[in-house]
């Protein structure tokens, strides 16, 4: 039977929180009245931020594909490495996983990493990484999906940026903060960067290098998928 996203959110509350919508709201860190509007008689369309918090919640372990499409199982099970560039150091790397939502931006995460540690993951034959965060947004879909684990290496000098590679970019423009995962290319004058999405529905962005507050090279993308 096909279900709506609203119905699937209600199913999460019923099966994992004993039908307690307030408990689900507390677990994922969203506003209780807003969540009740989603699962109640009003059936308000869920905001992306709400869905992202549900998928990012490690306690629930919800499959992003299931929540958005209804396909597969409710909870994640298998781990799949879907992106791992060839230039890597062979070894067994223990990678710390951080809560980027709590840190708010990459710059804060780099300077206060110990305050935002969620846990660690161990990946065989992994390159050296500084940490990992959970992906948000659809600009790199389907290569990178919301809820994927992004293992990164901090770039201390932006002049060492490798044009055409995938980066996590934290930048500030016109009073607004942005945190994106994009392919990054140097513009001809070397004072600007072009941010390119994998999802063709997203247009390229050109930003001044001076707007970048922090940047990290994406080393691995790990996806947890439902078992068939």
Tokens 């060492």 sit at which residue?
160
Give the residue ranges of DSSP H helices in the chain.
Answer: 5-16, 21-28, 32-39, 48-56, 64-69, 100-103, 106-111
Domain ranges of the chain: 5-75, 77-228
Q: What is the pLDDT of residues 116-145, one digit of tens each?
A: 888 888 887 788 899 999 998 889 988 898
First to last CA, the chain: 18
pLDDT for 60 beyond 60: yes
pLDDT for 89 beyond 90: no
Q: For the beta carbon of residue 183, count every other beta carbon within 10 angstroms.
A: 19
Residue 183 or 2, more confident: 183
**What is the overall mean pLDDT for the chain?**
86
pLDDT for 227 beyond 50: no
Torsion of CA 133, 138, 140, 141, to 10 degrees: 110
Task: Kindly indicate whether the domain formed by 77-228 is annotated with CATH number 2.10.109.10.
Answer: yes
Q: What is the pLDDT of residues 167-226, one digit of tens each?
A: 999 999 998 999 999 999 999 878 999 999 999 889 999 999 999 999 999 999 988 765
Task: Tell me if residue 17 falls in helix, strand or coil.
Answer: coil
Phi and psi torsions of 67, nearest 5°: -65, -40
pLDDT for 104 beyond 80: no
Q: What is the pLDDT of residue 83?
A: 56
pLDDT for 91 beyond 80: no
Which fold would CATH assign to domain 5-75?
A: 434 Repressor (Amino-terminal Domain) (1.10.260)
Cα dist. 87→17, 128, 153, 165 in Å?
44, 11, 13, 12
Q: For the beta carbon of residue 203, count every other beta carbon within 10 angstroms.
A: 9
Q: What is the mean pLDDT of residues 30-59?
A: 87
Residue 85 binned pLDDT confidence (cut-offs 50, 70, 90) = low
Nearest to 66 by CA among 104, 9, 115, 122: 9
């Amino acid at each position: 039977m096909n279900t709506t996203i609203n119905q699937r959110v209600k199913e999460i509350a019923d099966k994992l929180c004993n039908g307690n919508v307030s408990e689900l709201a507390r677990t994922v860190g969203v506003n209780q009245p807003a969540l009740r509007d989603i699962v109640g008689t009003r059936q308000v369309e869920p905001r992306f931020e709400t869905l992202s918090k549900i998928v990012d919640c490690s306690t629930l372990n919800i499959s992003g594909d299931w929540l958005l499409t209804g396909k597969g199982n409710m909870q994640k099970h298998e781990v799949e490495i879907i992106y791992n560039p060839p230039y890597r150091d062979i070894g067994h790397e223990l990678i710390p996983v951080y809560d980027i939502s709590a840190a708010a931006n990459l710059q804060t995460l780099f300077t206060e990493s110990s305050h935002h540690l969620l846990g660690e993951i161990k990946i065989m034959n992994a390159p050296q990484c500084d940490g990992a965060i959970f992906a948000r947004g659809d600009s790199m879909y389907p290569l990178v999906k919301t809820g994927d684990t992004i293992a990164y290496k901090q770039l201390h000098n932006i002049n060492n940026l490798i044009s055409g590679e995938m980066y996590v970019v934290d930048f500030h423009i016109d009073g607004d903060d942005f945190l994106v995962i994009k392919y990054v290319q140097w513009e001809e004058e070397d004072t600007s960067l072009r941010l390119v999405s994998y999802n063709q529905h997203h247009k390229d962005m050109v930003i001044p290098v001076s707007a970048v507050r922090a940047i990290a090279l994406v080393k691995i993308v790990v996806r947890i998928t439902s078992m068939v």
